Structure 1
């Protein structure tokens, strides 16, 4: 069955490449920001570890500064992970479970997003999965080489995104539940040491930057927190259901419950690396808003759990699951279908997440009309600055004037003095803040750029020429 799984996954790979090449969406602001990081390689960055920047550096040197040059990372990582999952699930259960676990998650909306958009979630899920798989075999054979390999993958997961720290407590939890004696084996600690050494550059970078990343993560956990907040809790639950294309979520839920009754070590393993992640963010959602993707990495082992119980379900339920999942994934990729199917009110253009992926290339071209190569290009929104860096012809270096929280761009201000006495091109969602005007002697409105999506204006940008830059930004960032 591996041949068929390979064929289907190759189909998804080709589809995603063609989608990126020909469907009229641009890089998301986060993708553009991470690409910009790759032009300033460092040990770490303000909000995330460096893996996403390193991968972008390599891929864009092969494919150029293009959407495919960025997104090929996500496409290839998801393809490789699907094939690796086949062999792991086969080891755990059977060829049939392996086939479903390798193929069907391509129809999960969360997996689909991470297979096209290249954000920090893509490498996190990939290296999280490799860490979990290596951990499983390390427990089985208890060899030093496998424990070291587990440490390598865990370290790379940490370099991808900070939630990789869940690997340590969940690994200890599984050992406590199934093989307590291994907790006394020194070979296990080699994996922790190796992971720590790989993660050490991130800690060194933070030590040099006043631990700004940890302040940022802490702020995210506490921002607008009050307990209990049931609206954010149910928003989180709804997000998790949609992340797994609805019905598969309930298969996973059923699998978690059955694990406590069957006490099968394989099921316990899959549940240990998924359920606690879900519960942690569920609890956090009772205090503040939790984005659906935050718990996404925990669904890797849950997807194998899904495959196991999916095969035990009635044919009619299997059919319904596949049809609904495929339909939702199709809508996710082509949201204008909502209009053609008469479902526009269900997802109006201004609530369509795809609106964040359109208009950036056009904005870059418009700014390029006023940019001679000498002006300072900046915005008060890092999203705009990142997109301009990617889409303005020539990929100029761009800057951010911080009126809200800190961003990575706050650490890249050393080049501002080179623009002293020159004009600037400023782009915003509205006017020019008075704080910004302190750095200039005058302004001139140049153009309004409207972004149309699904026959409706979903966003407006305003381009200004600011005159005679004084050589520095008089910023006052508010929080992390």
Structure 2
């Protein structure tokens, strides 16, 4: 391994370790951790697999930032083992060198550095999707050579089912597989093979807990995604969302990769396995997902990370193009700088706070929960007993619940979220006192305050780092919750 490669690799590993153990959970990480404390067949925002895993780890090892992100270690290990198998399958020579190049290209992509680090659903989605892609390709290659190993197809189906249990956008992988079977004449006869339909049935089994949960909850999860994605508030082309999707995707995947992606798909390296359908499947998984999301961005909104499975098969195609390339060192430098800034932004100081007092409220939400929890404990002690803990958004409710290691937090807001499916009816809360936490992003509304006999003046908790103001939280006491004729705690 060249010395420069080793230095970059050590840099990425150290930054990942710092993020793992030192950075307070992103509010969505805390949100999904809380899901694990409420076992269910599925959840409002996403399918259940990540929550099941989080709940198991917490039950066995307790609550800590180390344990929260420990599943990422296992998913990353499985991911890179699969990449090694892919590289070994594609190339007869330079296997270790090409694998290291693949590994480092992935680590240097800001998209994958971030989403393989966060304890969201995506790291499992990425891993299971790649395992499915590998199994599907090896089955197809065997099918063309009349040496198909059926277990590979069924294994791919099981992995794809697990990916769907992580996030719904795993269906884009399935669409890529279907497109391959339609377009490539070498495998069209599979449509007459019962094994393909049995594999489809295996994938469909993953949807059973999701469907059962939705049937039990008025299909609210499905409705949420329909409303969010294909029923925009105003009709017409959305040039802004389209440009945001395209430009952000260009930079977060890495601007140094796109030309190589194009070259590797147009003219696969002669060093690759001869006649393999790998480049074909890679193209269709990338193309179908990217085209559909681009079209969606023109009529509604599409987030760059919804396309995260599209690029997975492209990375093993790149090593022959980067073996002796200065572009590789430029890409590594870009990725390492981005990763370092990300750690600073998430762990030391939100860089947006240096530019504006209002920009990037999401990142500011990472800071100050130890200080807020201290004030909440003090105000709760003055109320006596076990008061309600109420915040004005699911993010703040999740972060506070994680900091206090409790499930006794309510999020009362106009937005429907998973808290609404856990909340008790108003009558069971009548007469209880509460500690209420709000901020300027989601201020406490008069309608909520009116549901108490009286409320105290808010105590301001000002959060600063290195003398830079980040945000204010407001903590106040509410006495004797009165409830209302319509549920304020549950909006189902």
Look up the match of 1:387. 399
TM-aligned CA deviation for residue 301 of structure 1: 1.1
Question: Are 1:109 and 1:329, in contact at CA under 8 Å, matched by a contact in 2?
Answer: yes
Look up the match of 1:65. 63
Q: For 2:353 and 2:275, how far apart are their aligned partners in 1?
A: 46
Q: For 2:76 and 2:357, how far apart are their aligned partners in 1?
A: 29
Look up the match of 1:16. 16
TM-aligned CA deviation for residue 255 of structure 1: 3.5
Could you list the per-position Cα deviations for residues 120-179 of structure 1 after superposition, in whole angstroms to 9, with x for gaps in the alignment? 111111111111111112223333322221221111111100011223221111122331
Distance change in 2, residues 1:226/1:139 (3 Å): same
Q: Which has the higher contact order (CA 8 A, sep 6+)?
A: 2
Q: Secondary structure at the match of 1:371?
A: helix
Look up the match of 2:271. none
Could you list the per-position Cα deviations for residues 231-251 of structure 1 after superposition, in whole angstroms to 9, with x for gaps in the alignment? 221111121122213212342
Look up the match of 2:378. 369
TM-aligned CA deviation for residue 8 of structure 1: 8.7
Q: For 1:21 and 1:473, how far apart are their aligned partners in 2?
A: 46
Comparing 375-384 with 359-368, greater Cα deviation is found at 359-368
Give the alignment partner of residue 245 of structure 2, picking from 227, 236, 239: 236
Q: For 2:211 and 2:7, how far apart are their aligned partners in 1?
A: 42
Look up the match of 2:136. 135
TM-aligned CA deviation for residue 427 of structure 1: 0.9
What is the number of equivalent residue pairs in this alignment?
467
Residue 246, structure 1, aligned to residue 255, structure 2: yes
Question: Are 2:425 and 2:490, in contact at CA under 8 Å, matched by a contact in 1?
Answer: no
Could you list the per-position Cα deviations for residues 248-292 of structure 1 after superposition, in whole angstroms to 9, with x for gaps in the alignment? 234224444557xx9973322211112221222122111233222
Comparing 445-454 with 190-199, greater Cα deviation is found at 445-454
Q: For 1:254 and 1:331, how far apart are their aligned partners in 2?
A: 30
Question: Are 1:406 and 1:477, in contact at CA under 8 Å, matched by a contact in 2?
Answer: no
TM-aligned CA deviation for residue 306 of structure 1: 3.5
Distance change in 2, residues 1:56/1:338 (3 Å): closer
Residue 285, structure 1, aligned to residue 297, structure 2: yes
Distance change in 2, residues 1:300/1:264 (3 Å): same
Look up the match of 1:163. 169
TM-aligned CA deviation for residue 336 of structure 1: 9.1
Comparing 383-392 with 266-275, greater Cα deviation is found at 266-275
TM-aligned CA deviation for residue 41 of structure 1: 0.3
Distance change in 2, residues 1:258/1:451 (3 Å): farther
Structure 1 segments of 4 or more deviating over 6 A? 4-11, 336-339, 343-347, 476-480
TM-aligned CA deviation for residue 360 of structure 1: 2.5
Give the alignment partner of residue 53 of structure 1, picking from 14, 35, 51: 51
Question: Are 1:439 and 1:473, in contact at CA under 8 Å, matched by a contact in 2?
Answer: no
**What are the residue-to-residue correspondences of 1:24-423 with 2, within 5 Å?**
25-93=23-91, 94=93, 95=95, 96-141=97-142, 142-178=148-184, 179-221=187-229, 222-224=231-233, 226-258=235-267, 265-311=277-323, 315-335=325-345, 351=359, 354-372=363-381, 374-392=386-404, 394-402=405-413, 404-414=414-424, 417-423=427-433
CA-based RMSD of the aligned residues comes to: 3.2
TM-aligned CA deviation for residue 85 of structure 1: 0.5
Structure 2 gaps, min length 5: 143-147, 269-273
Question: Are 2:453 and 2:478, in contact at CA under 8 Å, matched by a contact in 1?
Answer: yes
Question: Are 2:86 and 2:316, in contact at CA under 8 Å, matched by a contact in 1?
Answer: no
Structure 1 gaps, min length 5: none
Question: Are 1:71 and 1:117, in contact at CA under 8 Å, matched by a contact in 2?
Answer: yes
Q: For 1:374 and 1:170, how far apart are their aligned partners in 2?
A: 52
Q: For 1:318 and 1:5, how far apart are their aligned partners in 2?
A: 10
Distance change in 2, residues 1:237/1:263 (3 Å): farther
Comparing 131-140 with 204-213, greater Cα deviation is found at 131-140
